[in-house]
Structures are given as C-alpha cells and as structure tokens.
Amino acid sequence: MELWEILQRLGIEKLTPMQEAMGRVCAKSNNVVLLSPTGTGKTLAFLLPLIQSLKIEVKEIQAVVLVPSRELALQISEVLKKMNTSFKIVCCYGGRPAMEEHRLLRELSPSIVVGTQGRMCDHLRKGNINGISIETLVIDEFDKCLELGFQDEMAEAIGYFQALKKRILLSATDTDEISDFVGMNTGENQQKCGRSSEIVKLNFLAQNPVISRRLQLFKVLSSEKDKLETLYQLLCVVGFTY
C-alpha cells in the first residue's frame, strides 16, 4: 500500500519534518531513538515505517510494541485500524481477561502485538505469544516505562525475542544512556539486513519548546495514612485557579 493512500485514510495532507525524518532513518538503521515531546505525532512516526517493513506473506507476529499504559496501547491500535491495511494488531493489557486476548491472538494471527510489560510477559511465559518470529521491537514512552519501574518486565519480555533485528525507542525526554537490556549497546544485531547497527538519535525536543512546557508536574507529599484524604482534597480543587 502506498504512503499517500494511508495518509488519505487518516485525513493527513502532509507529514511533519519529524515523521519524515523517522521514515528515512528507519529505512537505513536497526537502532533508532526518537526524542520528541508528547503530542507531536510519534505514534504515526513509528507506525508508518513499521507497516512498510512488514511482510504480507508472514502469518506470525513480526513486531511487538511495549507501552507503559492501556490507554497508549489502545491509541496505537486505533491509529493502525484507521490505516486500514491488511496487517492486524492485538492489544494486551491488564484489567481484562487474558484468555480473551489469547483467543484474539489465535483467531487474528496479528502481525503486531502492542501491550503493557506485565501482560506481555504473562503471554510470553504461557506460550500464547511466540517470541521466535519477532524481528522488530518498539518501546513507546521509554522514559515513562523507566520512571514507572518496568525495567524488570521489559528485560524479561525482550529476553524472549531471540530473532530481533530492529529496535526503536521513543521518548519525550533525553537520556544519556540506554539500558543494556534493550540490546542496542551490544553487538548481537550487527550487520543485519544490510543496515547500520549504530544508534541513530533523532532529537526534536528543542524544536518544540512550547509543547514541551505545556505540561507541568507537581508533587504532593502525604503520609501513608492520609493518602486517600489527600487525593480527595486534590480532586476537589482540580480545575480551580487561584
């Protein structure tokens, strides 16, 4: 399917410079890190080159996208469905029966599985997802995954993906080092598919100063016994300005 057809279905006239750069880099490199503020179109930036890299004749899972939340998993799934390609996607996340997801995995034979770390590990342990066929790993909101303490789950899941050729990390904040469990810092994916194994970092953080400052984070300290009451008081004043 041509790129213009996908964009037409999404109602998009033109890609952003960040999305165009991501497409060019993903075509040449096996290790890509995209840094861009939240809300700048990173989902489309990785989905477009990912879709173009999938093989229609392969009926097994070809790519896995790890995310820190159910909401992000559903968002990615919705964008892919709007693309209306022949490739299927299955979301895996906590809060619903794992058996339902297992049934979808069997019935749909998805090319892409997107899920939270804990639920992904659960399916991999049970053999519901076969990691042998997976060649592409995407970790969306990598910074948030680390912040929430999902290192162990990510490391466990990645350990099942023995055929990985391509790794893509997306983050809204910069990081000096990439965790070893991702596999970008090792030589295990050297010279695969004739692409560069060096880490290519696309940094669009400085080009979006207004967007990067639109979210402010505040910390409220509370003793363990008062946490519910503190939460209640905060909810009572949300939306008020003083």
Domains and CATH numbers, the chain: 3-208 (3.40.50.300)
pLDDT at 49 over 50: yes
Please count the other Cβ atoms lying within 10 Å of the Cβ belonging to residue 110. Answer: 21
3-state class of 131 per DSSP? helix
Q: Given the DSSP bridges, would you call strands 166-171 and 112-116 parallel, antiparallel or unpaired?
A: unpaired
pLDDT at 221 over 50: yes
pLDDT at 8 over 50: yes
Torsion of CA 144, 147, 153, 154, to 10 degrees: 50
pLDDT at 62 over 50: yes
Mean pLDDT of the chain: 88
Nearest to 79 by CA among 50, 109, 108, 119: 50
Nearest to 145 by CA among 172, 176, 111: 172
pLDDT of residue 26: 96
Task: Name the strands in the sheet holding 89-92, side by side, starting at the edge strand that comes first in the sequence.
Answer: 89-92, 112-116, 63-67, 136-139, 166-171, 29-35, 196-203
CA distance linking residue 185 with residue 198, whole number of Å: 9
Nearest to 128 by CA among 154, 157, 150, 87: 157
Nearest to 169 by CA among 191, 152, 154: 154
The more confident residue out of 224 and 28 is 28
Q: What average pLDDT does range 49-78 have in this prediction? A: 96
pLDDT of residue 93: 96
The more confident residue out of 232 and 136 is 136
For residue range 180-211, list pLDDT tens digits in order: 999 997 654 444 445 667 999 999 998 654 43
For residue range 69-109, list pLDDT tens digits in order: 999 999 999 999 999 999 999 999 999 999 999 999 999 99
For residue range 155-165, list pLDDT tens digits in order: 999 999 999 99
pLDDT at 12 over 70: yes
Taking the alpha carbons at both ends of the chain, their separation in whole angstroms is 53
For residue range 137-155, list pLDDT tens digits in order: 999 999 999 999 999 999 9
